[in-house]
Chain A
Amino acid sequence: MAVSSSPEIRVRRPNVWQQLNQVSWAWRITVVYLSIMLLIPTAAMLLRASTDGPVRFWQVATSPIALSAYEVTFVTAFIASAINGVFGTLLAWVLVRYDFPFKRIVDAIVDLPFALPTAVAGLTLATVYSDNGWIGSLLAPLGIKIAFTRLGVGVAMTFISLPFVVRTVQPVLQEMEKDVEESAWSLGASQFQTFWRVILPPLMPAILTGVALGFSRAVGEYGSTVLVAANMPFQDLIAPVLVFQRLEQYDYSGATAIGTVMLAISLGILLGINLLQAWGRRYDYK
C-alpha cells in the first residue's frame, strides 16, 4: 500500500458536531435499521418473557424436556466443535504448509458449509449417514446408527461448524515465522516438543476462537439438524427444535422461556469470543 500521507495536514477539524453532521444520514439509517430489526424484536422477547413472572419462567425454562434439550444441544455442539478444533487445525496446517494436487479446490471446499443452504446439508447428511446410505451402510453392520440419532445431530453440527477453525487458524499460521520452529529444531527439540511448545501456543487463541464460533453456530443450528435427527424428546431433540415445536402448539410462554435461555447463552458465547479475540491480539505486535 503506497500511501503518501502527510499527517500534519488535517482537513477535518476536531469538531464533533460537524463530524456527526457530515455523515448523519449514514448514522441515522444505521441506528434506525438496527433498532427496528434487532433491538425492538429482542426487547419484545425479553418483555414477553418477563410477563409470566419469574417463577413460571423458571418452571418452563427448566422443565425436564427443556433440560434434556439443552443437554443434547450443548454437549453435542461442544463435542462437534472440539472435533473441528483438532481436525480444523490439522486442515489449516496442511493447507498452509504443504503442497499437494487440487489444493486450491480443497481450500475452496472448506467454505461449503457457509454457502450450502442448511436444508440441503441436512437432507444429504440424513441420506449419506442413513442405514442404507453411502457411509451409513458401512457402519450399520457394526451396530452404529447415525442418522435419526444423536450421532446424526453431531455429524450435522460438525458439518456446519467445520470452516470456523480452519479460517481463524489459517491466517495466524501464514504469518508465523518458520525460523522459530527451525531454531527449536536446531537446538535439539523433537518434533513433538516443537509442535507443543513452539507452534501451538501462539495458535491457541485462534483455535479457541474458531471452536467458540463453531460452537455458537452449532448451538443455534436448525435446518440441518432437524432433518438429520428424529427429534425425539429426551433422545435427540435439540433446543431450537423444541422452541419451534412450542410455537407450533401456540405455547408462546414455553417458546419464549426456552428462546430467552438460548439468547442469554448466545450472548455469553459472543462475549467469550470477543475476549478470546482480544487475547489473540496480544501476539500481534511483538
Chain B
Amino acid sequence: MTISNASNSELSQAQEPARHQEGKIKYILIGIALLYLALVLLIPAVNVFVQAFQGGVGAFLQALQTPDFIHAAQLTLIIAAIVVPVNTIFGLCAAWAIARHQFPGRALAISIIDLPFSISPVVAGLMIVLLYGRNGWLGPILEAANFRVIFALPGMIIATAFVTLPFVAREVIPVLEEVGTDQEEAARTLGAKDWEIFWRVTLPNIRWGLLYGVILTNARAMGEFGAVAVVSGNIARRTQTLPLFVEESYKQYHTQSAFAAAVILGCLAVVTLVLKEIVERKTRIKDVE
C-alpha cells in the first residue's frame, strides 16, 4: 500500500529524470520503514531498560537479590544446560541422517522436524500434560515409581526440549547439503573412521551453522514461556523460571522486579543478536573465499 501510494503520487512527474525521483522516494521509504520499526520494536525494547532503572541502580540491584529471582535464574540456567546439549546432539544426528541420504519421505521428515515451530507452545505443553500427567498415559506408571514429571523439573525440561527441537537440525541441514560429501569420502578412502571423519572433516565445515543453531536453541530455551507455564504449575522458588517470574511479578504489581528480570532476559537477547551477527559475518567471509 505504502509503496504504491508513494509511487502513485510521483506518476504525474514521470517526465522528470528517474534518478531525482528515486532520491525522494528513497528517503520517504526509509523514513516509513524506520518509523514502523521504532513503533513496534525499538521503543518497546528501550522501554524495558528505562523502566528497570527508573528507581535507580540500587533498586534494580535489590530486585535481583530476592530469593525468588535467584532461584528462577538458577532454574532457567539448569534447564538450558540440559536442553541445549541434548537438542544439539539430536540436531546433528537428524541433520546428518537427512542431508546425507535420499530416501522416500525425506521432505516429510524435514516437515516433521519443523513441527514444533507450528504447534502453539501451549498445545505442546498440553500434549506433555496429557502424556505424563496424573490422568495421562504414563501417569500411573510414573506415580507408582514416585517420579513427578508435571509440576516438576523433568516436565519443564521436556517442554523446553520440545519447543527448541528444530533449531540445530534446520540450521545444519542446508550447510551439510552445500558442503557436499567429497571431503568426507576422501577422508574415508584415506582410512579415517566414522568418528574421525565427523570430528575432523564434517564438524569444521558445519561449525558456523551449528553455532547459529545452538545460539538460537539457547535463546529460546531460556526465554520459553508458554509451554513451560503449562507444565510447571509456576510455583515460586520451585518451578518458576525467569520468564514466569517476569509474568508473576507483573501480575502482583511488583513492577520493579518484573522489569529487573526483564532486563536480564533482554541482555540475553542482545547477546544472542551480537553472536548471531558475528556468526553471519564469519560465514559471509567464508562465502567470499
Contacts and interface: CB of A to CB of B under 8 A. Distances in A.
Contact of A125 (B44, B97, B229, B258): B44
B126 to A, nearest CB: 5
Interface in B98-137: 98, 100-101, 107, 111-124, 126-131, 135-137
A155 interface: yes
B36 interface: yes
Contacts of B250: 123, 126, 227
B162 A38 contact: yes
Interface in A131-156: 133-135, 155
Contact of B225 (A87, A219, A222): A222
Interface string B1-15: 111100110110010
A280 to B, nearest CB: 15
**Dominant SS at the B interface?**
helix
A187 interface: no
B219 A115 contact: yes
Contact of B118 (A40, A124, A270): A270
Interface residues of B, number: 102
Contact of B229 (A33, A93, A128, A244): A244
Nearest to B29: A94
Contacts of A104: 277
A127 B45 CA distance: 11
B225 A118 contact: yes
Given A44-B137, A222-B229, A270-B111, A191 B10 contact: yes
B262 interface: yes
Contacts of B33: 87, 90-91, 93-95
A262 B29 contact: no
Contacts of B68: none
A128 B262 contact: no
Residues of A in contact with B, size category: 35 or more
Contact of B45 (A5, A48, A112, A239): A112
A220 B123 contact: yes
B78 interface: no
B126 A45 contact: yes
Contacts of B18: 185, 191
Contacts of A158: 40
A201 B90 CA distance: 39
Interface stretch (A23-31, A54-62, A168-176): A23-31
B96 A23 contact: yes
A90 B247 contact: no
Contacts of B4: 192, 195-196
Contact of A48 (B26, B96, B121, B130): B130
Contact of A44 (B26, B136, B266): B136
B75 interface: no
A34 interface: yes
B285 interface: no
Interface in A189-233: 190-192, 195-196, 216-217, 219-223, 226-227
B259 A41 contact: no
A128 B276 CA distance: 27
Interface in B44-62: 44-45, 47-48, 51
Interface string A251-280: 010011001001100110110011000000
Given A91-B37, A191-B10, A227-B247, A114 B219 contact: yes
B34 A266 contact: no
Contact of B48 (A123, A155, A195, A216): A123
Given A45-B130, A216-B118, A247-B129, A190 B37 contact: no
Contacts of A122: 247
Interface in B125-172: 126-131, 135-137, 158, 161-162, 165
Contact of B90 (A29, A192, A195): A29
A17 interface: no
Contacts of A190: 7, 10-11, 14
Interface in A104-126: 104, 106, 108-126
B30 A98 contact: yes
Nearest to B233: A248
A237 interface: no
Pick the 3 closest A-B CB pairs, nearest first: A117-B223, A220-B120, A222-B226
16 contacts: A25-B93, A41-B124, A41-B130, A45-B126, A89-B3, A98-B30, A117-B222, A118-B226, A159-B41, A221-B226, A222-B121, A226-B247, A227-B247, A263-B119, A269-B118, A274-B111
Given A33-B93, A243-B120, 20 more contacts: A23-B101, A25-B93, A29-B90, A30-B93, A34-B113, A39-B112, A44-B137, A45-B130, A90-B33, A91-B36, A109-B42, A113-B41, A116-B45, A117-B246, A119-B246, A122-B247, A190-B10, A223-B226, A240-B120, A266-B120
